[in-house]
Amino acid sequence: MHHIQPICDDLFWVGASDRRLSLFENMYPLGRGVTYNSYVLLDDKTVLFDTADSSVSGQFFENLDYVLDGRPLDYVIVHHMEPDHAATLEELKCTYPEVKIVTSAKALNLIHQFFDFDTTDEVQIVKEGDVLETGHHTFKFIMAPMVHWPEVMVSYDTATGILFSADAFGTFGAFSGSIFADEVNFEQEWLPDARRYYANIVGKYGTQVQMLLKKASALDIRMICPLHGPIWRENIAWFVDKYAKWSSYTPEEKSVLIAVGSVYGHTTAAAELLASKLAERGVTNVRLYDTSKTDLSELVGEAFRASHLVLASATYNNGIFTSMETFLTDLAAHALQNRTVAIIENGSWAPVSGKLMREIVDSMKKMTVLEPVVTIRSALKEAQLEQLDQLADAIRASMG
């Protein structure tokens, strides 16, 4: 059965939710599912804005056929060639052979890499500032390299102020009825997944996201249609501000993320005591996570939120406890910067995790490491409480 949603008079959502996929990109858990958004405009010309993942191809093509209602498909604008949006492009060409592909030069290369169909005819390459007129609408193309692949572009409808933003402003999460951000409790229900999506998918490319935000600031944007998650038509500035913070690696909140890698719980016990000492000092925006129990993508998302990171790790195989090492190297890979860090190390006979964690932190930009680094040998002792107090004081003082 077709399942479409009207957006405005001549624009329709023809995408689909996927609640069956466990891991997005075979990596990121999808506890709340994901949507593959695709849109159709019925102007003098008909326009499809991206296709959809092969997992929802049946629903997608049924939706497209229903909305077109016998009209030919004139254009498909390919903003992004990642298969979650472009896997069904070849099937689209087979079903609608007359359709003209409008895309960037880099995307055309990727089309040739992913597919074998002939693109000699019926392809229109666009570059920064080019426009496509479809009747009552004119679409301006804006290149957005590395948000999140090099070929990405976004398009802006000068008639309506709608920005088709590709992966930008997207989020994990499937729809439960409404497709509009103003009709759901986005901050409570969606924001953690939006942050997790941003940090893990495009977090590394803050500079490029900033460039896109700068270009977007020159536009009168009245609606954002992303490729994943809800459509924005109200309170757009609030979500743009989140992107401004995340992409500039500005902490979203004065908050302490305590990440613990612990073998038998002694390191956890020290971290929990530190958390209580912070609470005694009025620092209550604190979240403690076990790196072995918490999905890596959630930890990375949380690190993009919080201003302070406490890294508490056992020494393991003469190195950092494995799940903590994975977390830290992933933070460095995602270019996280501008954080204040406290370190607790544990080692029963040769504690080295503190030194090694510090080396990774020092490889990241604008990181401040607080003193003292607390060293535990097996279990925290009474004599070390003063050090833990000093660390709590240092964290409190650095929060301003």
Is the distance from CB of 275 to CB of 363 less than 8 angstroms?
Answer: no
CA dihedral angle for residue 321, residue 327, residue 329, residue 330, rounded to 10 degrees: 160
We find the least distance from the C-beta atom of residue 35 to ligand FEO, in angstroms, to be: 10
Tell me whether residue 74 or residue 167 sits nearer to ligand FEO (CB atom).
167
Determine, following the binding rule CB under 6 A, whether residue 373 of this chain makes contact with ligand FEO.
Answer: no
**Contacting ligand FEO within 185-224 (CB under 6 A):** none
d(CA 32, CA 187): 15
Give Cα 330 to chain centroid, integer Å: 14
Tell me whether residue 82 or residue 330 sits nearer to ligand FEO (CB atom).
82
Which tokens sit at 370?
Answer: 């607080």
44 by Cβ neighbours in 10 Å (0-12 / 13-18 / 19+) ranks as: exposed
Determine, following the binding rule CB under 6 A, whether residue 85 of this chain makes contact with ligand FEO.
Answer: yes
Residue nearest to ligand FEO (CB): 82
Which tokens sit at 37?
Answer: 């958004």
Q: By three-state DSSP, how is residue 248 classified?
A: coil
We find the least distance from the C-beta atom of residue 42 to ligand FEO, in angstroms, to be: 25
Determine, following the binding rule CB under 6 A, whether residue 167 of this chain makes contact with ligand FEO.
Answer: yes
**Contacting ligand FEO within 353-372 (CB under 6 A):** none
Is the distance from CB of 47 to CB of 10 less than 8 angstroms?
Answer: no
d(CA 96, CA 90): 10
Tell me whether residue 74 or residue 151 sits nearer to ligand FEO (CB atom).
151
Determine, following the binding rule CB under 6 A, whether residue 79 of this chain makes contact with ligand FEO.
Answer: no
We find the least distance from the C-beta atom of residue 173 to ligand FEO, in angstroms, to be: 13
d(CA 274, CA 344): 10
Tell me whether residue 167 or residue 298 sits nearer to ligand FEO (CB atom).
167
Instruction: Tell me, by CB under 6 A, how many residues bind ligand FEO.
Output: 9
**Contacting ligand FEO within 227-246 (CB under 6 A):** 227-228
Contacts with ligand FEO by CB under 6 A lie at: 80, 82, 84-85, 148-149, 167, 227-228
